[in-house]
Structure 1
């Protein structure tokens, strides 16, 4: 199962369920699935014609916390965060990688 980096904010907060987001509302700074975006529209929270962005404009979506965490986590030591850069190997490293491979 693929990781869900963009999850519907409402589904996560209200139902504790991870549903793939299909839209991002730059006005509300939230992600929405198809079900929740309809509710969002009906409650008059759609203020601008250019918001929300669908998946066709995903490059305009901000980096989600899950994606940020994934990008900053060491591929080798899954629970460690990347905190250092090794100029000799041109590589981001966690503290355990530094101890083992980058002295």
Structure 2
């Protein structure tokens, strides 16, 4: 699964996808390509070396977002409860037609 990383300059900019190769070297570089076969991400520089080694692995650029997995940043937004900071949406209240975390279901949706 994709993880969020911050850029090398220590700014608050959050990148949705980090280059897997650079990340192993403790370098935060935004990914521009994804390999579904390996489930790894690559920046423009690393993808050149990778394509020489893994010729049969097809990589997808940013122009093919449907070939990329949901990023960790996006997944967190979709799964976190709006009312409870540590709450993860795990339950569905049929009466209110809402997704709820543990706290919501106990206190608001019995």
TM-score range, shorter chain: 0.7 to 0.9
TM-score, normalised to structure 1's length? 0.75
- Map of 1:56-71 to 2, 5 A cutoff? 56-71=63-78
Alpha carbons of 1:32 and 1:5: their partners in 2 closer, same or farther (altered >3 Å)?
same
User: Which of 13, 20, 35 is the matching residue for 2:24?
Assistant: 13
Query: Deviation of residue 87 (structure 1)?
Result: 1.1
The answer on whether the counterparts of 1:46 and 1:52 sit within 8 Å (CA) in structure 2 is no
- Map of 1:24-103 to 2, 5 A cutoff? 24-42=34-52, 44-48=53-57, 51-103=58-110
The answer on whether the counterparts of 2:36 and 2:67 sit within 8 Å (CA) in structure 1 is no
Question: Runs ≥4 in structure 1, deviation > 6 angstroms?
Answer: none
TM-score, normalised to structure 2's length? 0.71
Distance 1:62 1:102 in 2: 32
Gaps of 5+ in 1: none
The answer on whether the counterparts of 2:34 and 2:68 sit within 8 Å (CA) in structure 1 is yes
The structure where helix makes up a greater share of residues is 1
The count of residues paired between Structure 1 and Structure 2 equals 99
